[in-house]
Amino acid sequence: MAPWLRRFVACAAVSTAFLAPQTSAWAASPAQALPTRFAECPQFFAGGHPPQVPAARGLRELCYEAFAVLHSAESRTPVFVAERLNRQRIEDADEKRADKFFADARLPRSERAELEDYKGSGYSRGHMAPAGDMPTPSAMAQSFSLANMVPQNSQNNSGPWAKIEKDTRRYALRAQGDVFVITGPVFEPGSERIGPRGVRVPAYLYKLVYDAHTGKAWAHWQRNQAGERVSAPISYAELVRRTGIEFLGGRSD
C-alpha cells in the first residue's frame, strides 16, 4: 500500500473512532484496547526478546501501535520504551503533531500518573518514544499516553534531547534495515517527586540505538537538567553497567 493511502486509511480509522459513542475504547483512552503483554508485540525488540530488567514489584507491560512500554507503579513512569525504526516508518511519520495527553486506562489508578501530577510542577511531560517517530495519526495520539512520559527539564527536552531524537531519526533514514531504539529514565536515591501521586523525576535519561543490519550499538546519556549539551555517546556495555538492564540479550560490547 502506498504511503499516502496508508495515511488516508489511518486518518479515516481515527476519525471514525472519535465519532463513536462515548462507550467506545477510544472515548476513555486511545490505547485502551491494545495488548498488555510483550509477547503480543515482539516486533519492537531485537530478535523479539525484551530487555532483562532487575526484578521489581509493580511492573506492567503495555503495547502500542508503534512502541512498547515497561511501566513502573513505583515511579509512575516507564522503566523503558522500545521502538523499531526504519526508513519506511520515518518517511511515513505524520508531521502534524497531536497534543492531547492522557492517562492510560489500562493501568490501575493507583499505579499511573495523572495530568494533574504535572500541572504547576515546572517539568515538561517528556516523551520517551518521540511523537516525531510516529508513522500514523493513531500512533501519534497514543504517544501522548502519560505511560510514555517522564518529568523532564523543559530546556533539556526542547534542546539537546530534541537534537538526539532528530539525529536518531536521521540515522534510521540512512540505515539499511531496522534500527531498535530503547529510551528510559534513571533515578537517584531520594529523587524528587511531583504531583499528588509522587511521580519520580529522573536524574538521567538514556537512548540506546541498535542497528540490526550492522550489529552496532551505542547510547546517548543526558542529565535531566538545563544547560546540558549533546555529549559523545557511551558504549552498550557502559549503559548496561549504569542501568543494570540487559537490553540486547547479553551483548558485551
Query: Strand, coil or helix: what is 197?
Result: coil
**Residue 82: strand pairing partners:** 68, 182
Which residues are known to be catalytic? 127
Q: Which domain holds residue 86?
A: 3-243
Cα–Cα nearest to 81, from 208, 218, 183, 217: 183
Residue 88, in any domain of the structure: yes
Domain count, the chain: 1
Through-space distance between the first and last CA atoms of the chain, rounded to whole angstroms: 39
Residue 86, in any domain of the structure: yes
Tell me if the pTM is above 0.85: yes
Going residue by residue through the chain, which has 253 residues, state the pLDDT in tens, using 9 for 90 and above: 444 444 433 443 433 333 233 333 333 588 878 999 999 999 999 999 999 999 999 999 999 999 999 999 999 999 999 999 999 999 988 667 778 999 999 999 999 999 999 999 999 999 999 999 999 999 999 999 999 999 999 999 999 999 999 999 999 999 999 999 999 999 999 999 999 999 999 999 999 999 999 999 999 999 999 999 999 999 999 999 999 999 998 666 6
Residue 250, in any domain of the structure: no
Residue 199, in any domain of the structure: yes
Residue 190, in any domain of the structure: yes
**CATH number of residue 190's parent domain:** 3.40.570.10
Residue 251, in any domain of the structure: no
